[in-house]
Amino acid sequence: MTPEELAARLAHVRIPESFARFGIQDALAACALGLIAALLISSLLRLVTVRRNNPLVEARSAIERLAGLEKQARITGLAALLREKGGTAPDGLDEALYNPNAALDPAKVEAAVVATARKGLRR
């Protein structure tokens, strides 16, 4: 007996008719699987396409917001920004924070904030 004859003599596999039909339960299961796949894909896309914050751009925009304030408030805000970024205070900043008559150019503090933000970019 050849393999072809043997295969011809075997009875065909019979499954119940209810298994062969595509019913409402099958449609609901397919929809549920589609929703789960969509949730997974959307969460992965959200991770990939999230907007990254640039420390240098954030520092420059904060400096621009502080530019309209009076000198003492501006120096205080710049010092807080410098502390937040983890930078080193320039000479004279401590005195300028406590003595409004101290001569400190806010541009020195701004430069320190920008330099610290640039270091943050390299990390």
Asked if residues 115 and 81 have their Cβ atoms less than 8 Å apart, the reply is no
- Among residues of the chain, what percentage have pLDDT more than 70? 98
Per-residue pLDDT tens over the stretch 65-93:
999 999 899 999 999 999 988 888 888 88
Per-residue pLDDT tens over the stretch 6-64:
878 887 777 777 777 888 999 999 999 999 999 999 999 999 888 878 888 899 999 99
Mean predicted lDDT score pLDDT of the chain: 88
Domain locations along the chain: 3-49, 55-122
Asked if residues 59 and 114 have their Cβ atoms less than 8 Å apart, the reply is yes
Mean pLDDT of 115-122: 80
User: Can you give the pLDDT at residue 122?
Assistant: 59
Residue listed under structure tokens 């503090």: 109
Angle at the Cα of 24 from the Cα atoms of 21 and 29, rounded to 5 degrees: 100
Terminal-to-terminal C-alpha distance of the chain:
75
